Structure 1
């Protein structure tokens, strides 16, 4: 959506085609779109058949739009809409592909889709250098354009950062993590960190609390509660209306994803925190490592390194000057990913022939 807003402001008039299996949706709530319907099913062969049929419909729709509107560029978001790329190649239109991922549920399907997409694309935008390197995107096609926040989210974060003050004694230091209920998101590491911190960090009136913001369905949340022992210092919040309300009082924001399960290609939740002047911790690999210089507003720590994690929490919770410096550094690092910078880079890709 941010890319479309940026193109609108630059004077482009994009015709948007999206795939959907339901009603509503963020993009459709904001602008007029054309929709290709598809169905989800548990049988993988039926799912594959439905995917192929959807691509055929998308192919026909994009061919018609290219001829009717005389569009000169087809912008494709992710490798999944491969039918749009084939249509653009057939119509001899320029193809700009925007890559956000390095894999799908089916590695074989992803390899096939990426092979087709990378050959058909004239320019390939990657959300991080990690994505470009992992997929070995051809140097003459690649352009790294890091994600940013929407202008509205950036404005909210800026207001929070302007009013942020260093904690004072006696202090309540809050550690926040926002994620889905997937094992590789490091929820186990978050719980272990909460327990270890309670045991190791003792400093007068200091109280360290943990908040876990979970994006999950009610059934998933109930199952998680019934199967997990929650430490007394951990507060669970299901689907918060705004993460910024929690970043407002956060002293540290974590991403504890396990790289053996999934590698983050960017790290938007961390950027949201940094824009609020909150220090962060991220995994040692992935696109999130590009958000900051190590030690400058953020740290790269393996999710299994409990000693390292406890050490950072203790440092920032007990040393006001260390926290204040890290807060300022996080805000400075975040400025490199401001919406204006994203707009400039994205438009440059479209304007370059």
Structure 2
């Protein structure tokens, strides 16, 4: 069997490296020989997965132009690093559109290249156009995380398939340890786990907390995929309402889901269409209903009024009303909670692994 060279840009605690970690674990459990390349970072979901973990230079800056320069440099370095496999029997598995150096290397070496595409939002537009052009000339197979992404980012004359993200087995095990269905009796906690980006609805989450400040039984928890210093800098001019608890990036979020009653995804529908929403199915596995955007991948997971609600983050007042209703209407809350738990079973890790291995072993 061909060796698999997995490539990712930034190893952190966000969704795309988490999904790739599941792909890698599936491949290793299947006895495949693998190697992993990521940009240098402190830690993330891809850390300590394999002994053959190689690093290449990459650094993010607050200045987007500096970041762009280091990104281009990183991909040049990655390109030359991968040329050592010229006479090897390999497949290159590129996670997200960004590591274009891997796609170019595969094209030059005439090796099979698989792309796992999670995103549709990339800025500037010229960068996205460039990355798509690399995919067009280099890729052999393309995996999309949802039908929505496939529809938006489809490529002609390429083998393409949709493999939905899955609830990791450790989430299922932890979710089954306690009775989460009845937890709304001890106050009502609203959770959001998100990147530290304005288009992810961070400001709207704070606005919701402010609107519901007088409701003492409703609290808010915000977990951000960022270091404390980044968070402090972003919120330097903010005054937080007293009903918000704020946390930096976490490697383990079980307890956050266990203590929450409702999950919000507030991505702005005109700036960042969610392609899937891994936190949505993770929360639902804990019996947590959700409020998510009415466009993109979340609409393939959540049915209006069944597992939660589909509401634009621009409708802050409407979301606030739903939160108040669920905090008081135990019957409605329990109905949504049970439905959410049941729906999460459709995103089974065994199904995900079977489809991934079928792809890798073809």
- TM-score tier by shorter-chain length is 0.7 to 0.9
Write the deviation string for residues 44-94 of structure 1: whole angstroms up to 9, x where unpaired: 7776665555444433443432513x23x2222222332322333344332
Write the deviation string for residues 274-299 of structure 1: whole angstroms up to 9, x where unpaired: 11110011112222222222222121
Partner residue of 1:142? Answer: 160
Give the alignment partner of residue 186 of structure 1, picking from 201, 208, 230.
201
Write the deviation string for residues 254-275 of structure 1: whole angstroms up to 9, x where unpaired: 1112223322222112221111
* In structure 2, distance between residues paired with 1:238 and 1:155: 25
* In structure 1, distance between residues paired with 2:280 and 2:345: 13
SS in 1 for 2:48: helix
SS in 2 for 1:98: strand
* In structure 2, distance between residues paired with 1:266 and 1:342: 14
By how many angstroms is 1:133 displaced? 1.4
Give the alignment partner of residue 85 of structure 2, picking from 51, 65, 68.
65
Pairing 1:46-85 to 2, within 5 Å after superposition: 51-52=71-72, 54-68=74-88, 70-71=89-90, 73-85=91-103
By how many angstroms is 1:243 displaced? 2.3
Judged with a 3 Å threshold, the aligned counterparts in structure 2 of structure 1 residues 231 and 294 are, in CA distance, closer, same or farther, namely same
How many equivalent residue pairs? 341
Unaligned runs of 5+ in 2: 1-20
Structure 2 residue 124 is matched with structure 1 residue 109: no
Give the alignment partner of residue 238 of structure 1, picking from 248, 252, 255.
248
By how many angstroms is 1:167 displaced? 4.4
Structure 2 residue 45 is matched with structure 1 residue 35: no
| RMSD after superposition | 2.8
Partner residue of 1:7? Answer: 27
Partner residue of 2:18? Answer: none
SS in 1 for 2:309: strand
* In structure 1, distance between residues paired with 2:75 and 2:203: 39
* In structure 1, distance between residues paired with 2:330 and 2:301: 23
* In structure 2, distance between residues paired with 1:244 and 1:293: 24
Pairing 1:290-329 to 2, within 5 Å after superposition: 290-329=300-339
Judged with a 3 Å threshold, the aligned counterparts in structure 2 of structure 1 residues 219 and 348 are, in CA distance, closer, same or farther, namely same
Partner residue of 2:191? Answer: 176
Query: Which structure has the larger Rg?
Result: 1
The two structures have a TM-score, normalised by structure 1, of 0.85
Write the deviation string for residues 94-119 of structure 1: whole angstroms up to 9, x where unpaired: 22111111243432122112112133
SS in 1 for 2:359: helix
Checking the alignment, whether the CA contact within 8 Å between 1:253 and 1:273 is kept in structure 2 is yes
Checking the alignment, whether the CA contact within 8 Å between 2:263 and 2:280 is kept in structure 1 is yes
Checking the alignment, whether the CA contact within 8 Å between 1:97 and 1:124 is kept in structure 2 is yes
Checking the alignment, whether the CA contact within 8 Å between 2:183 and 2:259 is kept in structure 1 is no
By how many angstroms is 1:344 displaced? 1.5
* In structure 2, distance between residues paired with 1:36 and 1:221: 26
* In structure 2, distance between residues paired with 1:168 and 1:284: 25
Checking the alignment, whether the CA contact within 8 Å between 1:167 and 1:320 is kept in structure 2 is no
By how many angstroms is 1:22 displaced? 4.6
* In structure 1, distance between residues paired with 2:59 and 2:158: 37
Partner residue of 2:38? Answer: 19
Give the alignment partner of residue 247 of structure 1, picking from 246, 257, 260.
257
Checking the alignment, whether the CA contact within 8 Å between 1:79 and 1:113 is kept in structure 2 is yes
Write the deviation string for residues 194-223 of structure 1: whole angstroms up to 9, x where unpaired: 233355x7xxxx822222223333333334
Compare 220-229 and 2-11 and name the one that shifted more.
Answer: 220-229
Judged with a 3 Å threshold, the aligned counterparts in structure 2 of structure 1 residues 26 and 239 are, in CA distance, closer, same or farther, namely closer
Judged with a 3 Å threshold, the aligned counterparts in structure 2 of structure 1 residues 274 and 44 are, in CA distance, closer, same or farther, namely closer
